[in-house]
């Protein structure tokens, strides 16, 4: 009898032990970190797939429409005082930015408040304007055409002025089957802007197999760019080196221009501006949304130092600890993104 009782006690203790074994919280096995994407590994070779510029269904590209858009892009008669064209602030020699100017001058010499961004590969951008408030080129073009400080045209005035010019009247009939309107003007300009494509920089030639296309300093800069130390690749990603997302880059502690918050009204969006493309960036000085940083080296130093104290600063902003030589190498890499054939392409220059 006693032996049987001890047996039951033993079984109960064994069961309790097994139950405790299975229910007791155990440490989770360590998760092995996945290898970084190929583009972020140490190898400087980055393979970007060929891309086709997205074209909206309601504005198909045609050679005649692109040519009409090119003529409009360079024509100052699209502005109220007849002095300001799209190209006045987006000059081809500066990769279609307003090279050298922190902010551009519009009609009657009125100054804007933001730096004119480069239009390099602008057809791929998902968000336009510095705060990204426009989703497509056709809508974006309405902004400068009608803005008080830029071209200052009323839609009816623009249509009447262009309709009174015989060559434009004929061209709009040929392309759109109608007289000029604000809509068709922006559609033609957008069609031309989708042809502003740049893929022939030393960086591109190096990617294609020309081992001598980039300097040794630029190659070291490329390694840094895609390293956690340089930490540029999280925001400047992809073929155009931009994630198209608004970010606060800790440029200021207090922002005079509140950026994305101007469109959303949200405190957390104060100081957020869209990540710009880095293609042809060496041609587009000065830098940042207000053109407040004069040189590429100063831009790199801004990020190297971790920016200004700011509650909305992007989580990626931190002191990088780059040496002066490493800053120079990063600048050399950024300069290797310059495509001289883009700025001299006759198809993109003013029509004769």
Q: What is the pLDDT of residues 207-226, one digit of tens each?
A: 999 999 999 999 999 999 99
pLDDT value at residue 20? 38
Instruction: Report the range of poorest mean pLDDT among 11-20, 159-168, 303-312.
Output: 11-20
In the numeric block, the tokens 């802007």 are attached to 193
Considering only residues 122 and 10, tell me which one the structure prediction assigns the higher pLDDT: 122
> pLDDT band for position 317 (50/70/90)?
very high
Instruction: Report the range of poorest mean pLDDT among 20-24, 179-183, 314-318.
Output: 20-24
Average confidence score pLDDT of the chain: 88
Task: Tell whether the model's pLDDT for residue 13 goes beyond 90.
Answer: no
Q: HEC states along the chain?
A: CHHHHHHHHHHHHHHHHHHHHHHCCCCCCCCCCCCCCHHHCCCCCCCCCCCCCCCCCCCCCCHHHHHHHHHHHCCHHHCCCCCCCHHHHCEHHHCCECCCCCCCECHHHCECCCCCCCCCCHHHCCCECCCCCECCHHHHHHHHHHCCCCCCCCHHHHHHHHHCCHHHHHHHHHHHCCCCCHHHHHHHHHHHHCCCCCCCCHHHHHHCCCCCCCCHHHHHHHHHHCCCCCCCCCCCCCCCCCCCCEECCCCCCCCCCCECHHHHCCHHHCCEEECCCCCCHHHCCCECCCCCECCHHHHHHHHHHCCCCCCCCCCCCCCCCCCHHHHHHHHHHHHCCCCHHHHCCHHHCCCC
pLDDT value at residue 19? 39
Task: Report whether 42 contacts 223 (CB < 8 A).
Answer: yes
Task: Tell whether the model's pLDDT for residue 9 goes beyond 90.
Answer: no
pLDDT value at residue 352? 85
Q: What is the pLDDT of residues 28-78, one digit of tens each?
A: 333 333 333 333 344 445 656 568 899 999 999 999 999 999 999 999 999
Instruction: Report the range of poorest mean pLDDT among 8-12, 119-123, 341-345.
Output: 8-12
**Bridge partner list, 111:** 105
User: By C-alpha distance, which of 42, 56, 21, 33 is closest to 222?
Assistant: 42
Task: Tell whether the model's pLDDT for residue 260 goes beyond 60.
Answer: yes
The model carries a pTM of: 0.85
Give the C-alpha distances (Å, rounded to integers) separating 66 from 199, 229, 280, 305, 340.
20, 43, 23, 44, 22
Q: What is the pLDDT of residues 70-106, one digit of tens each?
A: 999 999 999 999 999 999 999 999 999 999 999 999 9
Task: Tell whether the model's pLDDT for residue 112 goes beyond 60.
Answer: yes
- Supply 309's token pair: 């104290």
Q: What is the pLDDT of residues 128-161, one digit of tens each?
A: 999 998 999 999 999 999 999 999 999 999 999 9
Query: What is the number of alpha carbons within 13 Å of residue 346 lying toward its C-beta?
Result: 1
- Supply 64's token pair: 């005649």
Task: Tell whether the model's pLDDT for residue 3 goes beyond 60.
Answer: no
Please tell me the distance from the alpha carbon of residue 314 to that of residue 160, in angstroms, as a whole number: 47
């Amino acid at each position: 009898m006693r032996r049987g009782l001890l047996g039951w006690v033993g079984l109960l203790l064994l069961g309790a032990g097994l139950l405790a074994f299975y229910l007791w919280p155990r440490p989770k096995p360590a998760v092995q970190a996945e290898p970084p994407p190929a583009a972020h590994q140490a190898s400087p070779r980055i393979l970007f797939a060929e891309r086709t510029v997205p074209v909206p269904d309601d504005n198909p590209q045609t050679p005649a429409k692109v040519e009409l858009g090119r003529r409009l892009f360079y024509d100052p008669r699209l502005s109220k005082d007849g002095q300001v064209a799209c190209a006045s602030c987006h000059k081809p020699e500066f990769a279609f930015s307003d090279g050298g100017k922190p902010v551009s001058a519009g009609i009657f010499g009125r100054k804007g408040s933001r730096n004119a961004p480069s239009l390099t590969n602008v057809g791929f951008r998902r968000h336009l304007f510095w705060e990204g408030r426009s989703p497509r080129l056709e809508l974006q073009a309405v902004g400068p055409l009608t803005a008080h400080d830029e071209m200052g045209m009323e839609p009816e005035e623009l249509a009447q002025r262009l309709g009174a010019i015989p060559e434009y009247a004929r061209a709009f009939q040929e392309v759109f089957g109608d007289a000029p309107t604000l809509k068709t003007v922006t559609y033609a300009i957008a069609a031309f802007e989708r042809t502003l494509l740049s893929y022939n920089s030393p960086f591109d030639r190096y990617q294609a197999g020309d081992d001598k296309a980039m300097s040794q300093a630029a190659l070291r800069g490329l390694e840094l760019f895609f390293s956690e130390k340089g930490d540029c690749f999280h925001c400047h990603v992809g073929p155009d080196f931009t994630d198209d997302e608004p970010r606060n880059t800790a440029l200021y502690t207090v922002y005079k221009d509140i950026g994305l918050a101007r469109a959303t009204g949200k405190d957390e969006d104060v100081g957020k501006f869209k990540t710009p493309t880095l293609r042809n960036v060496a041609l587009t000085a000065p830098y940042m949304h207000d053109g407040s940083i004069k040189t590429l080296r100063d831009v790199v130093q801004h990020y190297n130092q971790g920016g200004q104290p700011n509650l909305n600063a992007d989580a990626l902003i931190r002191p990088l600890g780059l040496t002066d030589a490493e800053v120079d190498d990063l600048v050399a890499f950024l300069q290797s993104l310059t495509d001289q054939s883009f700025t001299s392409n006759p198809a993109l220059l003013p029509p004769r």
